[in-house]
Amino acid sequence: MRYRGKPALQDKLAAEYVLGTLRGRARARFQGWLREDAALRRTVAEWESRLAPMAAAIAEVRPPRRVWTAIQSRVGSGTREATGGFWDSLAFWRNWGLVATGCAAALVAAMALRPPETIEVLKTVEVPLKGMQPSYVALLRATQDGEKLVFVAYAGRHSDELWVKKVALGDAPAEHGYELWGLPATAGEPPKSLGMLPRDEKGTIKLAAAADESLKDFPALAISIEPAGGSKTGLPTGPVVAKGDCLKFW
């Protein structure tokens, strides 16, 4: 795959890399590019800073007892170095590294978007909680393919601007556009339009009020295809192409 000179592709791959949705050989190939491309590393760093509230909001989880049992079973008396003892055992530290990595991945996976789905995260982002701006973050996945992340939205709690990014959402049909909807928690209540998505790959939506007022009642968001200018009925009229949780971080 040729990625140089293709900023849109680079941005998409960086987003998937940070979110953990870039897997297998594609992820390994991307990691190789990162070692050689400073500009690509900056793009990844930008995505990490945008999604940092998600990592910062994860509460500490105590590993289950079976994890420690597994450590003890792996680190038997035969793995201790005769001269250095337990703490100098290469086998111990290798096994401990594997278990610690597994615990870190499990910790982040606890923040599943829709049970029983989980997010595979192979890289964690450490950010200070002090001074972290309270915010709303939404990750929307394609309705036709629940594994495919297609859209990301972010807003500071007290901001009236919703930052939006099409990760893998193609162009809308001719004379149509994408409309963003807030989905109420109470069954039977109608969704509320939050505005039309910018035609560009990324941009902002001006909310009717601060996010704390505009988004607080919507635990999930959705995107539908509507006529240019938006739905004329105040409700979705076209197919819903993406859905996802709208999470609060504070």
pLDDT digits (tens, 9 = 90+) for 118-137: 333 333 334 444 445 788 99
Query: pLDDT: is 209 or 103 the higher one?
Result: 209
pLDDT, tens digit (0-9, with 9 covering 90-100), for 232-246:
999 999 999 999 999
Residue 86 domain-assigned (yes or no) = yes
Question: How many domains would you assign to the chain?
Answer: 2
- Cβ atoms of 44 and 17 closer than 8 Å: yes
Please report the pLDDT score of residue 127 as a whole number. 40
Residue written as tokens 């910790």? 107
- HEC string for 163-196: EEEECCCCCCCCCEEEEEEEECCCCCCCCEEEEE
Tell me: do 82 and 174 sit in the same domain. no
Tell me: do 159 and 205 sit in the same domain. yes
Tell me: do 233 and 173 sit in the same domain. yes
Compute the average pLDDT of residues 162-169. 89
Tell me: do 140 and 97 sit in the same domain. no
Tell me: do 75 and 139 sit in the same domain. no
Please report the pLDDT score of residue 148 as a whole number. 84
Please report the pLDDT score of residue 99 as a whole number. 54
Residue 153 domain-assigned (yes or no) = yes
pLDDT, tens digit (0-9, with 9 covering 90-100), for 9-34:
888 888 888 877 788 888 888 888 88
- Cβ atoms of 150 and 140 closer than 8 Å: yes
Compute the average pLDDT of residues 41-65. 70
- Cβ atoms of 243 and 141 closer than 8 Å: yes
Tell me: do 144 and 244 sit in the same domain. yes
Please report the pLDDT score of residue 33 as a whole number. 85
Residue 148 domain-assigned (yes or no) = yes
Residue 119 domain-assigned (yes or no) = no
Quick one: tokens of 193? 């339009």
Kindly tell me if the per-residue pLDDT of 79 is higher than 90: no
Tell me: do 158 and 198 sit in the same domain. yes
Gap between the Cα atoms of 45 and 108, Å rounded: 18
Query: pLDDT: is 49 or 83 the higher one?
Result: 49
Tell me: do 149 and 228 sit in the same domain. yes
Q: What is the CATH number of the domain that holds 214?
A: 2.60.40
Tell me: do 142 and 242 sit in the same domain. yes
pLDDT, tens digit (0-9, with 9 covering 90-100), for 85-113:
545 555 555 555 655 555 555 554 444 43
Please report the pLDDT score of residue 121 as a whole number. 36
Compute the average pLDDT of residues 144-166. 87
DSSP H or E stretch at residue 39: helix 38-50
Which of 2-11, 54-63, 130-139, 206-215 bottoms out in mean pLDDT, i.e. has the lowest? 54-63
Residue 57 domain-assigned (yes or no) = no
Residue 40 domain-assigned (yes or no) = no
Domain limit, last residue, from 74, 94, 109: 109
Please report the pLDDT score of residue 53 as a whole number. 60
DSSP string, 51-100: SHHHHHTPPP-PPPHHHHHHHHHHS-GGGSBTTTBGGG-HHHHHHHHHHH
Tell me: do 103 and 160 sit in the same domain. no
Domain that holds residue 166: 135-249
Tell me: do 102 and 191 sit in the same domain. no
Tell me: do 139 and 245 sit in the same domain. yes
